[in-house]
Amino acid sequence: MKIMVYDLIVLGGGPGGYHGALQAASNNLKTLLIEKDKLGGVCLNEGCIPTKTLLQSAKVYHHALHSEVLGVTASNVEYHHEKVLKRKNEVSAQLRSGIRSQLKASGVEVIEGYGQILRRQADGFLVGIGDVMVKGKRLLLATGASSVIPPIPGIREALDQGIALTSREILDIPDIPESLTIIGGGVIGLEMAEYFAKTGSRVTVIEMQNQIGGPIDSEISSTFLKILKQKGIQFELNAKVQSIDQHQVTYEKQGKTFRVDSEYILVCTGRKPNIENLGLEAIGVETIKGCVSTDETGQTNIPNVYAVGDLNGKSMLAHTAYREAEVCIQTILGKKEQMRYHSIPAVIYTTPEVAYVGETEESAIAKGIDYAKVNLPLNYSGRYVVEQGDRNGFIKIVIDKKYNQIIGVHILGNYASEIIYGAAMMLETEMRTSDIEQLVFPHPSVSEVIKDAIHQYIKIGG
């Protein structure tokens, strides 16, 4: 039997996988992409894109209901969840089609099926897809991650009954539930809390930590929590779920036991890399705490085997996977590039948005950095006052006092997602406060608050 040989075999068609395949093929590497489900991975099919589609519809609905403050009166405003789901599916299908077209135009061969590494040979790696066997001189592993199901008594039964859902199933429930309990106050939990609260659900979020939003700055988290509570979302922090009995969640808080009943339960307790049945042990790929271990070029402990995206567990973000894939391909081509994780931005796409990059005040303290901080309300921006009008949004900048260098930027407020890339660039290029003073920002724009904040810092002697 003749075995097809490729310069690169990519396992997984999510952001890191398909982007890596495109990069490889555009550099004349014969490339095969193997995907067991849908091109685009979790991001395109059950993560980034679908959730933002739902959130956009909820945002428009909310604007229509509350437009009188802008002098616009809307009547008979209705929300049709089934039409929103239809649009969500159409958006994902359109983007999947675009990816498939790009791959075809670039010469990437795509096989649908489950790829498993079989063994290593002197000239490459054998991979099986069902009855088909192929060989790759190099491998790019990009199999993503899946929801963690914590060992909570009753959770498996609730999942089997369709009462408890993961972030995958919640995107396709046919109706807006009357009530929803969310276990986990991280990014996914908060975005889903926002969506369902805006569209009519009574939402309760149970979180083990003492703040929401995971690793976000504590000042941002505190104000963010206050805003979400004002929207009617109930939060139970420092709370541990003890059991699930059909629609009832029992949790412990401050030594006392509480119960909450809801129509659905959403489990958002993190994600774990998909390393099972991949065949890593067949070639000796090292894993640490369930993640594939990689160096700064994305290479594993096995030469010519690379891993990107959620699989290596370093930064579970689609845009991180894109960049990791680029670094891997450049390394394969013999060029010297490496990953730098300190300037990767992250966003929570609620209303208001939260966006951040670099050091928080807490991480600066933990690292012993002599830092200064400056906070400035977003209402310093005329555009923000005109279009948003709230008094809660603010920007926080963390500065290394030794070099007057920007090492962290944190924004609470709409437009944050479109501004944070500029802050990331400031960190990546090691800009100092004096450098930012010389930049010209468009007026009126919300981005101006970055320069305004730096002016405030310098004004007080920074």
What is the rounded CA–CA span in Å between residue 125 and residue 300?
14
Check if 247 is active-site.
Answer: no
SS (H, E, C) the chain: CCCEEECEEEECCCHHHHHHHHHHHHCCCCEEEEECCCCCHHHHHHCHHHHHHHHHHHHHHHHHHCHHHHCCCCCCCCCCHHHHHHHHHHHHHHHHHHHHHHHHHHCCEEEECCEEEEEEECCEEEEEECCEEEEECCEEECCCEEECCCCCCCHHHHHHCCCEECCCHHHHCCCCCCEEEEECCCHHHHHHHHHHHHCCCEEEEECCCCCCCCCCCHHHHHHHHHHHHHCCCEEECCEEEEEEECCEEEEEECCEEEEEECCEEEECCCEEECCCCCCHHHHCCCEECCEECCCCCCECCCCCEEECHHHHCCCCCHHHHHHHHHHHHHHHCCCCCCCCCCCCCEEECCCCCEEEEECCHHHHHHCCCCEEEEEEEHHHCHHHHHHCCCCCCEEEEEEECCCCEEEEEEEECCCHHHHHHHHHHHHHCCCEHHHHHCCCCCCCCCCHHHHHHHHHHHHCCC
Q: Of 80, 81, 443, 455, which is the active-site residue?
A: 443
What is the rounded CA–CA span in Å between residue 363 and residue 245?
39
Tokens of 75: 């009547």
| CB-CB contact of 11 with 127 (8 Å) | yes
What is the rounded CA–CA span in Å between residue 313 and residue 261?
34
Which of 429, 414, 428, 426 has its CA nearest to residue 450? 426
What is the rounded CA–CA span in Å between residue 367 and residue 423?
21
| CB-CB contact of 73 with 362 (8 Å) | no
| CB-CB contact of 242 with 168 (8 Å) | no
What amino acid positions are annotated as catalytic residues? 443
